[in-house]
Structure 1
Amino acid sequence: MSPTEAIPLLIVVLLMISIGGGDVQEMSVSFQGDNDIDSLADVHVVAGGTTTVSEDATVSGDIYVIGGTADIDGTVDGDVTLLNGNLSVQNGATVTGTLQTYSGSADVGSEASVGHISQFKAPTPSSSPAQQIGGFLLQFLVLGAFGWWLVTRHPILFENVGAAITEHALVSSVVGSLGATTLLVLFVYMAFTLILLPVAIVGLIAEFLVVLYGQAVFGYLIGARLPIERDGVATIVGIASFLLVLELLGLVPYLGGIAQLTVAVVGFGAVLNTYFGLQRFEPVTIPGGI
């Protein structure tokens, strides 16, 4: 597993360590190769390769497995958590704390000594029409209320962002993809510092809200083309139509997901280009250029 692929699960590990009162400054991560560990600073994360606690080794600390393989032959004085990848606790090995498994493959020998084994079983998602409709209506109510309020109070904001989407879609898509990726990486690295972890969480939430803002603007653009005189009502109908189209796109394998991602990226870039709609976006031109 590459560092980029490990980012989502590393965020989960950081949150788990922080909640448990651990020190992320003392965390070590292995991404590749064969690694034999005989001591731990506090926490070790296995993200790739093979990490082995040899038979005659005793390590104190917690081990998180998010990729690769962890092979425990000796003693781990702490907890072992499996989020993804492979975990093997051989016969004669000892884990004094809790062995928690969320996903991945775990093999615990019958003669291994484990303080406590906890297995997380994810609830089976319900695909009942009632729940799907309920989720759609909840999303519509939130975006619809936001869109109606903004278009009736400050319509210029939607107009500016909408113009950036329709007139400069390519620029918005480039800015959106670069901006969203850069901010995501920034917030992830901020999360490695315990002091900045709350800031990183707030930043990720804010990034998600910007995506929702872009979706509301797409609904506004659809509503503006409908034969409805009242802007607020037209925006609400447009948002409902837009969300319905997104749901239908989700039913199309691969291409539907690509289309949904493209829409989110363009909307994100348009919001950034217009400073959340406060300023109309005009691309920079070269004087005297062709």
Structure 2
Amino acid sequence: MKIISARLFCASRLGAAALGAAIGISVSGAATAEITRKGSWPELEPKVSLEVSGEPRNEALKRVAREAGWSLLLNLPSGDVVELHIQDQPADKVLELLLADGSYVATRDGDLIAIAPAATAPRSAPEPRPAPEPPVSPAVPAPPSPGASPDDAEDEADDEDDDAEEARRTSRGQDRFVTGGSLRIERGEVVHDVSVIGGSLDVWGTVTGDIDVMGGSTHVHEGARVRGDVATVGGPLTVADGARIDGDVDVVGGPFRRGERARIKGDVNNEVSAVGDSGPGAKGASALARRAGNAVTRTALLFAFGAVMLALWPRRMETLKVEIAARPMRSFALGVVGVLGAAALAAALCVTLIGIPFAVIGLLLAVIAVVAGGCAVLETAGAGVFGHRTRNPYVHLAIGCLGLLLVSGIPYVGGAICAAVALIGAGALVATRLAGLIRPKPRGDAATGPYRTAP
């Protein structure tokens, strides 16, 4: 086993820094070390400080990249056990020390770095490190050698362009698309755009593109990085401490949890439901006033929807009201069974691409029907409280909506009552066959049975 030990120390705070390294290498048949850099490398790299003891070289490389803000694509064996004790040293110098046991090629594209042995790296001429003096004039192609023709020079230039494009495509990762299942991006894995429908997503590695998740939970774990935007619909989003998102965050129909040390550079939508966010809009009286305003808006929309249903289908709403008043517990039980059955049917349809549009349309219609059933429950409750004063169904609906607004503000109890209203309304729809929209199948004459006898 080869053991590489590097000790780097910072000498002064006044500006003069000295690098002291003690490197001991025991190699049988040692080769000349050579690090070939490709791509655009800046003159000044960020300084890193870390302690590594008894870990393989690849793990040390990953920790250096994490401290420097890089994304690494390694095509190397795990390497020997390494011990590092580094304080405020340039990251590229530490990278060269860790690769000092052989010949390697490091190809860079922004913050993405691909490292491979020189024997298996793409064939191209070594590129010198760019000079620090700006501006840099365009490179002039070198004249062909005396024994080479112009066509050979053009072919070699085309090969270099193809190799650079291949390295860039490999470093950014491939797109991932999953339907009806969960996806996990492992630590050290690099992917591009990620899309998940009907499943959860766990990100431990690097996503160089965007993330889109519908109908599932999303968790960006510690040490993970997303270079693009993150958008979720119908599920929670959690950004843990130490995670990084360079783009915007949009959360629709789900809670948003953010760690105190999570880094999000772009804009964040859904700040009201953010947990752990220390922003001024998430605390104090402003947050309470915002939640109260949202509750009043939802109640007003619910009353408007119920009024439209009463105006267009008064008989069907009366059918639901009679069923709810006569058998409320039966309606509640049927609502639980109906919701579970609808969820199972939607999950079965989401398994195939053809069934996804039908599942989406069915869920939208089910939501509209459940809201209509909830309006019938509120009208029934309002009639029970204020029915001795007036028989106007709109007044009964308004009183029921007002009572729901007041009760919904009670912690825990308000949520349970809102769920009970929705389930009772759904059960009344099941018991009345969607308020008479689905007619029962005729059973035939009682004397002759379901079959008619020929004369």
Normalised TM-score (structure 1): 0.60
Tell me the percent identity.
Answer: 20
Matches within 5 A, 1:31-70: 35-36=186-187, 38=189, 40=191, 43=194, 47=200, 51-52=204-205, 66-67=218-219, 69-70=221-222
Q: CA deviation at 1:246?
A: 0.6
Q: Which residue of 2 aligns with 1:29?
A: 183
Structure 1 or 2, whichever has the larger Rg, is 2
CA distance in structure 1 between the partners assigned to 2:265 and 2:291 by the alignment: 33
Matches within 5 A, 1:1-290: 23-25=177-179, 29-30=183-184, 35-36=186-187, 38=189, 40=191, 43=194, 47=200, 51-52=204-205, 66-67=218-219, 69-72=221-224, 79=228, 81=230, 83-86=237-240, 88=242, 99-102=247-250, 103=256, 104-105=258-259, 107=262, 117-122=265-270, 127=290, 136-151=299-314, 155=315, 157-188=316-347, 190-191=349-350, 193-222=352-381, 226-227=387-388, 234-278=392-436
Q: CA deviation at 1:217?
A: 1.9
Q: Deviations over 1:126-185 (max 9, x none)?
A: 54988765654443233113113322xxx2x33432333233222221221121133235
Q: Deviations over 1:40-70 (max 9, x none)?
A: 59637795777346xxxxx876557812615
Distance 1:36 1:192, change over 3 A: farther
Distance 1:239 1:23, change over 3 A: same
Q: Which residue of 2 aligns with 1:12?
A: none
> In the alignment, residue 401 of structure 2 is paired with which amino acid?
L
Give the SS at the match of 2:223: strand
Normalised TM-score (structure 2): 0.41
> In the alignment, residue 86 of structure 1 is paired with which amino acid?
A
Give the SS at the match of 2:238: coil
Q: Any conservation in 1 of the 2:188–2:205 contact (CA below 8 Å)? A: yes
Q: Any conservation in 2 of the 1:71–1:89 contact (CA below 8 Å)? A: yes
Q: Any conservation in 2 of the 1:219–1:242 contact (CA below 8 Å)? A: yes
Give the SS at the match of 2:342: helix
Q: Any conservation in 2 of the 1:27–1:41 contact (CA below 8 Å)? A: no
Q: Which residues of structure 1 form unaligned runs of 5+? A: 1-20, 54-58, 109-115, 282-290
Distance 1:25 1:137, change over 3 A: closer
Q: CA deviation at 1:85?
A: 3.2
Q: Which residues of structure 2 form unaligned runs of 5+? A: 1-174, 232-236, 251-255, 272-280, 282-286, 441-455
Q: How many residues align?
A: 230
Q: Deviations over 1:62-89 (max 9, x none)?
A: 557812615348xx8x746383232646
> In the alignment, residue 145 of structure 1 is paired with which amino acid?
V
Q: CA deviation at 1:205?
A: 1.8
Give the root-mean-square deviation of aligned CA atoms: 4.3
Q: Any conservation in 2 of the 1:164–1:274 contact (CA below 8 Å)? A: yes
Q: Any conservation in 1 of the 2:295–2:405 contact (CA below 8 Å)? A: no
